[in-house]
Amino acid sequence: MELIFERSRKGKIGGTLPLKDVNEEVKVDPAYLRSRDAQLPCVSEPEVVRHFTRLSNMNFGVDSHFYPLGSCTMKYNPKFTEKIALLEEFTALHPLQPQLLKGAKLTQGALEIIYNLEAVLSEITGMAEYSTHPMAGAHGELTGVMMIAAYHRHKGNVRKHILIPDSGHGTNPASASIAGYEVKAIPSNADGVMDLEEFKKTLNEEVAAVMLTCPNTLGVFNPHIKDIADLTHEVGALMYYDGANLNAIMGKTRPGDLGFDVVHLNLHKTFATPHGGGGPGAGPVGVTKELAPFLPVSRVVKKDDGTFELDYDEPLSIGYIAPFYGNFGVLLKAYAYILLLGKEGLIEVSENAVLNANYLKVALSKYYDLPYDKNCLHEFVLSVSRQAEKGVRAVDMAKALIDKGIHPPTIYFPMIVKEAMMVEPTETESRETLDHFIDVMKYLAELAEKEPELFKDFPKTAPVGRVDEVKAAKDMDVACLNDDSL
Amino acid sequence: MNNELKVVHGVGKMSYIPHSKEDRTEMLKAIGIKSTDMADLFKCIPEKLRARSFDLPSGMSELEVDKTLRRLAKKNATDLITFVGGGFYDHYTPAAVDAVVSRSEFYTAYTPYQPEASQGTLQAIYEYQSCICHLTEMEVSNASLYDGGTALYEAAMMAMRITGRNKILMDGGVNPIYRKMLESYTSNLSIEFVEIPVCHGQSHRDEIEKYLDDKTAAIILQNPNFFGVIDDHTDISEMCHAKGALVIESVYPVSLGMLKTPREMGADITTGEGQSLGIPLSFGGPYLGFIATKKEYARKMPGRIVGATVDNEGRRAFVLTLQTREQHIRREKATSNICSNEALCALRALVYMCLTGRGGIKMVARLCMEKTEYAKKKLSKVKGVEVKTSSPTFNEFVIRLPKDPNEIIGKLIDKGFAAGFPLGRYYPDMEDYMLIAVTEKRTKEDIDRFAEALEEVLWN
């Protein structure tokens, strides 16, 4: 489609500006000024709105399409929480306001929401305290690992390694490494969970922490998780819980009860805030009482008179990891969601997420390989390797699904499964949708058997066909600069 | 009656679950679970590992939650006339920005891993990257980062990767919040930070020269700086490049409607907070971090990048590119752990930049500056107030008060003004100083009334 720059015509303007009501003129030394105007497009408002509306029509989203993208929990985003987040008393609130003298009393509502959200997240996960500051899951991981480092420094421990199973999310080793640790990958066993013997062999007093997802990326719950936690604690290391899969276990088990010391959650997954095309999310971190002093500043505290204020005086804190209190707009939506659903609602969420996943798994295992045929929780991983023998790989299957109006599952992850297709339906999909997906997957399995060559041409009905990724990387055309300005 | 209610709840109305009771029973059967008890789905979790507690309140209807949250909303005062900035500004956002980002085709999608099903998001990000390049005059931008502070941290890490050095010079005019963030992020790494206080509000050339050496990976500068002061860092860039060090310039995007660009000043990497481009203040987030650099450093840049290419029929298409830098491929060897971006905020900024456009962004910047000059003039007439004028400013400036700024700010809140930010909070030797921001939203009348109120609380 045409770029917005290609619609640009000199002299057009899209927005109105407030009137100039002062007589002052700018008198600045030209040395401080840009020599050419910024070459932004010149377009009118109707053209801008049409351009972006047409772009939006080229997207698959949860509102328009089934989106079983494994590990991403693409559930329905309630319209009510979107509406609440638009209240001006929240959107117009300046974050520095509570840091002014007497300013905290003018932000009591926002501070109370953060305080209450921390409390409910603590109860849901069995942790002592939370910080809402991290702005995404990976950011929560980094914050968590930084706290682990601060804890060991404080204890005088010299620790070098973080252990992560080979099925873990890519962000886990990346976060550990960026925080200054060396990563050791632990292989998975035949059941799809971290190999206990290999783990014991690698665990020693140089290990700072073990980072796990439970249930893991195969949707499998590790029955030895408590033993792993006990062994880890025996050598003075800590347990880190990647909360990406919390949607599987609410009300059933809690990371705190399993022996985890640090937890991050993805509010944009479990608590139904929109993914926004890749953010903004929110990745709060929870900790045990022992680690609470290391949480980032500021902390929201409740005073004896029932009012709230910010506390920056935490000598062991890792400091600032965000400019303020996290992605407040996202926190607000998650809090509204938790209030709506309540205890029973959240339990139903996990029960139905697991029901939907198992329903699909049982049906689809007739047509596709299932390398780890265990009771899954909220997601499961198929292998397209049987079809791949005919030349139809996971990526081909994904493109065929696009033609059928279904967003493909996550492919080629986790890396321990060949031709992986990771399916997470979530609880908000109807049985009819699931049945339709099963029919489509069955049809595609049969088609792969009979006419595998057809797959190379899929998708045929999408706004574009298969894109040339090699050319993209080679040309590195990442901005439209065909202008005289540069 | 009670039973009936329970049944309604059991259907999962409040949990957005579409199944009827019959659906569930049949689905359990299909799985091979003979009971109708959903708890049987969790047999893989050993009994002794079950939740010890799950003590949460019961759910509420939309109406009840609406009332609860509106009650809390009313406890926030947003009717103050604000002169608080500090890197986060009360600019006007055209209504069409909200209309575009409220399309659920954008906000209910995820990271565009499947390009054929995500051309809308991908093209929007490509256009966003282009606009950031035009604004900063850099050659490549990524798809966005969390906020201006994390963007600055990523830029510092990037500079160290490029140069293989580990010393960073930090200009004292860089937002102190960002400086604190950098300190936290690097506390477990061996990095040498040298902070160089400003001189008459601008970067201190002599001191920079003193600390700049062949171990220096980069200098971090900000324009306009935390005190609102504008500078031309061209000479500092030349000094740094001569020593093989890179220049990182943190900028305020709206100011680039007029001010010298990072590229013109010789910056290698530029970052900033994009909140001023149509993103609400929203009590601190979600915001938008941007980062842009020269083409030669593109492969060292963190985060998602969208590239233009063609599809199998030669039609224009967009796709996530240079992914081999990223965590999902490289794991612990990735350039960054970042997985998402702030796509919806980047879309807001893009729509804002399209609506204001070439002429509009310049006019917004000019209005900010003109109103700021008016406010300076007005406040300098208030008895006992000293307006610092040693260096030119954009839309923020420093005043010195004859009384404790905290106390004055407290009194002005009672009069309906968020007066400014007390600099003593981050600069111990500036206890008497306050930072004042003026955007295009402030009227002459706001400023006049503010000056009157200030005089009153100072002397009555």
DSSP per-residue letters across A367-387? TSB-SS-S--SS-EEEE-HHH
Q: Does A67 touch chain B (CB under 8 A)?
A: yes
Q: Which chain A residues contact residue B86 at CB under 8 A?
A: 96
Residue A335 inside a domain? The answer is: yes
As a whole number, mean pLDDT of residues B117-132 equals: 98
The domain of A287 spans 83-339
Rounded to whole angstroms, how far apart are CA atoms B221 and B231?
10
Q: Tell me: do A33 and A168 sit in the same domain.
A: no
Residue B333: its pLDDT value, please? 82
pLDDT above 70 (res B2): no
As a whole number, mean pLDDT of residues B407-431 equals: 95
* Contact of A45 with B355, CB cutoff 8 Å: yes
With CA atoms as reference, the chain A residue closest to B423 would be A100
> What class is the B81-89+359-459 domain?
alpha beta
A203-220: buried (b, 16+ CB within 10 Å) or exposed (e) per residue?
A: beeebbbbbbbbbbbbbb
Q: Tell me: do A365 and A311 sit in the same domain.
A: no
CA distance A390 to chain B (A): 22
Mutate to test the interface with B, among A399, A467, A475 (most CBs of B within 10 A): A467
As a whole number, mean pLDDT of residues B273-292 equals: 98
Rounded to whole angstroms, how far apart are CA atoms A340 and A460?
41
Sequential DSSP letters for B245-305: -EEEEEE-GGGGGTBPPTTTTT-SEEEEEGGGTT---GGG-S--EEEEE-GGGGGG--S--
**DSSP state for residue A456 in the 8-state scheme:** G
Q: How many CB pairs under 8 A join A and B?
A: 721
Asked whether the beta carbons of residue A26 and residue B354 sit closer than 8 angstroms, the reply is: no
Fold observed for domain B95-352: Aspartate Aminotransferase; domain 2 (3.40.640)
**DSSP state for residue A156 in the 8-state scheme:** T
Domain end call among A316, A339, A362? A339
For residue range A139-186, list pLDDT tens digits in order. 999 999 999 999 999 999 999 999 999 999 999 999 999 999 999 999
Q: Tell me: do A354 and A327 sit in the same domain.
A: no
Residue B188: its pLDDT value, please? 82
Q: Tell me: do A52 and A117 sit in the same domain.
A: no
Residue A248: its pLDDT value, please? 98
Domain count, chain A: 3
* Contact of B342 with B289, CB cutoff 8 Å: yes
| Nearest-10 Cα torsion for A395, A397, A401, A402 | 30
Q: Which of A17, A78, A479 sits opposite B360 (nearest CB)?
A: A17
- For residue B422, the surrounding DSSP H or E stretch is strand B421-422
Domain end call among A288, A318, A339? A339
For residue range B8-47, list pLDDT tens digits in order. 444 445 789 999 999 999 999 999 999 999 999 999 999 9
Mutate to test the interface with A, among B21, B108, B235 (most CBs of A within 10 A): B108
Q: Which chain A residues contact residue B60 at CB under 8 A?
A: 339-340, 342
Rounded to whole angstroms, how far apart are CA atoms B172 and B159?
19
Asked whether the beta carbons of residue B339 and residue A16 sit closer than 8 angstroms, the reply is: no
Rounded to whole angstroms, how far apart are CA atoms B230 and B271?
16
Q: Which chain B residues contact residue A126 at CB under 8 A?
A: 51-53
Residue B251 bridge partners (DSSP): B223, B272
As a whole number, the mean pLDDT across chain A is: 96
Residue A432, burial from CB neighbour count under 10 angstroms (0-12, 13-18, 19+): exposed
Q: Which of A5, A171, A320 sits opposite B337 (nearest CB)?
A: A171
As a whole number, mean pLDDT of residues A126-144 equals: 97
pLDDT above 80 (res B428): yes
- Same fold yes or no, B81-89+359-459 and B95-352: no
Domain end call among A294, A318, A339? A339
As a whole number, mean pLDDT of residues A76-91 equals: 97
Asked whether the beta carbons of residue B343 and residue A274 sit closer than 8 angstroms, the reply is: no
Residue A22 inside a domain? The answer is: yes
Mutate to test the interface with B, among A2, A9, A12, A32 (most CBs of B within 10 A): A32
For residue range B373-410, list pLDDT tens digits in order. 999 999 999 999 999 989 999 999 999 999 999 999 99
Q: Which of A45, A427, A476 sits opposite B15 (nearest CB)?
A: A427
Mutate to test the interface with B, among A60, A91, A99, A147 (most CBs of B within 10 A): A60
Please say whether the dihedral angle defined by the alpha carbons of residues A339, A341, A345 and A346, taken in this order, is positive or negative.
negative
Q: Tell me: do A296 and A161 sit in the same domain.
A: yes
As a whole number, mean pLDDT of residues A38-48 equals: 96
Q: Does A225 touch chain B (CB under 8 A)?
A: yes
Question: Percent of chain A having pLDDT more than 90?
Answer: 94
CA distance B244 to chain A (A): 24
Q: Tell me: do A231 and A253 sit in the same domain.
A: yes
Rounded to whole angstroms, how far apart are CA atoms B460 and B456?
5
pLDDT above 50 (res A485): no
C-alpha distance from residue A188 to each of A1, A165, A217, A218, A413 (Å): 45, 7, 11, 11, 14
CA distance A288 to chain B (A): 15
For residue range A370-420, list pLDDT tens digits in order. 999 888 999 999 999 999 999 999 999 999 999 999 999 999 999 999 999
Q: Tell me: do A200 and A321 sit in the same domain.
A: yes
- Model confidence at B325, pLDDT cuts 50, 70, 90, reads confident
Residue B189: its pLDDT value, please? 84
CA-angle at A486, arms to A5 and B363, nearest 5°: 60
Residue A17: its pLDDT value, please? 81
Q: In terms of pLDDT, which residue wins out, A18 or B298?
A: B298
As a whole number, the mean pLDDT across chain B is: 94
* Contact of B247 with B266, CB cutoff 8 Å: yes
Q: Tell me: do A166 and A116 sit in the same domain.
A: yes
Residue A212 bridge partners (DSSP): A241
* Contact of B406 with B455, CB cutoff 8 Å: no
Query: Which CATH number do you get for residue A113?
Result: 3.40.640.10
Q: Tell me: do A334 and A348 sit in the same domain.
A: no
pTM, two decimals, is 0.97
- Model confidence at B3, pLDDT cuts 50, 70, 90, reads very low
Asked whether the beta carbons of residue B124 and residue A475 sit closer than 8 angstroms, the reply is: no
Enumerate the H helices of A57-189 as residue ranges: 79-84, 88-91, 108-125, 137-155, 171-178
Residue B329: its pLDDT value, please? 78
- Model confidence at B6, pLDDT cuts 50, 70, 90, reads very low
Q: Tell me: do A289 and A356 sit in the same domain.
A: no
C-alpha distance from residue B240 to each of B157, B287, B299 (Å): 17, 31, 22
Residue B267, burial from CB neighbour count under 10 angstroms (0-12, 13-18, 19+): buried
CA distance B124 to chain A (A): 8
Residue A19: its pLDDT value, please? 84
Residues 6+ apart with CB under 8 A from B5: none
Q: Which chain B residues contact residue A34 at CB under 8 A?
A: 137, 256, 258-261, 264
pLDDT above 60 (res A484): no
Q: What are the boundaries of each domain within chain B?
A: 2-49, 81-89+359-459, 95-352
SS3 A421: strand
Residue B5: its pLDDT value, please? 41
pLDDT above 60 (res B415): yes
B327-345: buried (b, 16+ CB within 10 Å) or exposed (e) per residue?
A: bbebbbebbbbbbbbbbbb
- Model confidence at A483, pLDDT cuts 50, 70, 90, reads low
Residue A404 inside a domain? The answer is: yes
Q: Does A94 touch chain B (CB under 8 A)?
A: yes
